[in-house]
Amino acid sequence: MNRWARARRLGLALVVVLASLLAGAAVAVEPARDARGAGTDRSDVVRRTPDGENPLAGRRWGVYQGSGDQAWDPFVRARGKKKALLARIALAPKAKWYGMWIPKSQIQAKVADHVRNAQAGDPETLVQLTVFALKPWEDEACKRLPTAKEQRTYKTWIDRFAAGVGSAHVALVLQPDGPFALCAPGGSTLPSSLVGYAARVFAALPNTSVYIDAGASDWLRNDPAKALQILLPAGIDVARGFALNSTHYASTSAEVAYGASVVQALAAAGLPGKHFVVNTAANGAPFNGYEYRGKGHFDNADTCRAPGQTACVTLGIPPTADVANPAWGLSATDAASAAAYVDGYLWIGRPWLRMQADPFDMRRALAVARTTPFTSPYAP
């Protein structure tokens, strides 16, 4: 069932959950040579002005270079113009997704290997990760709750994932498509409590900044109260903040404005000082999900055919902590909100993959790289 067809069901759940809950500085992106001698450029985020509060600013943003990134091998094999286009994806810092498709017996080693690769010998490098491990989720989460075995497996998996991260500097996006927690049968908060378990485990790590997914402005129809229904039972009290637009295509300005309203609502609820990140991997020609009329599935929405086309999928703002740069085209109000509340624009989404999941889709990759309105600091 399409997520928009579930809006009414979710809306009813939102009312119930909210009632119970209420009762109870600029940086620059510069290329640096790959320390491993691969002959490619590694993207860095370098401090330009002091920023003692933003944990994502003032350090290099690492780029994993290996087969664990579905875009990497096609980039390595490519030549000429195709290679230059794929570089905009392959050489950009991205928030690698992990889930139960990697068993608990392997997850610690897999994460540790990814971290080492992305750090390239520099332990101060920022690594970006996405945890998408809760079962059931999405459609199935509306039909049943996690079994006792699934709960135990999830907690063990999370513990071992955290062991793989260790003391690395990490920006961690937790459980994309967060609104699905609100359609749990009987209004159960069990899924949210499991996300909360993960948030507490990861927040206890010395250098990990946790951002709990809270959907997107279009998904929640710009209602900050709905975001609080997701975040309050899911560990936002211990997290750095929340993530927006992880699988959607809404505009960066819309997400910044909405995120600012959520930060203010959290402060009013007794949780001041929260921040957020915005996925900009796929919103270079933004549109709201409830307005989508394309031929493809929403998760595999139509890519732009030419630069300047509107309401289609193409790469957005390149990953950066320079969130208020005039080059991004934000209004003065949104730029001020971004400077105050946004830690970074991350590439959490993966529009170069089929259904934003797997496998790599060369046609989509070339289309989103070719039509983006933003200049890439990663392309040679």
State the DSSP string of 159-186.
HHHHHHHTT-EEEEEE-SSGGGGGG-GG
Cα angle for residues 8, 9, 13 (degrees, 5° grid): 115
**Cα→Cα distances 277→6, 200, 246, 321, Å:** 26, 19, 9, 9
Instruction: Please tell me the predicted confidence (pLDDT) of residue 113.
Output: 99
Residue 349 CA to residue 237 CA, distance in Å, equals: 25
pLDDT recorded at residue 290: 94
Q: Are 286 and 249 in contact (CB under 8 A)?
A: yes
Sign of CA dihedral 114, 118, 123, 124: negative
- pLDDT score at 260: 99
CATH class of the domain defined by 7-371: alpha beta
**Residue boundaries of the structural domains of the chain:** 7-371
Q: How far apart are CA 43 and CA 32, in angstroms?
A: 6
* Torsion angles phi and psi, residue 10, rounded to 5: -65, -40
Segments in the chain below pLDDT 70? 1-52
What pLDDT score does 3 carry? 52
DSSP letter, residue 58: S
pLDDT of residue 331: 98
Supply the pLDDT for residue 11. 45
The pLDDT, as a whole number, for residue 380 is: 73
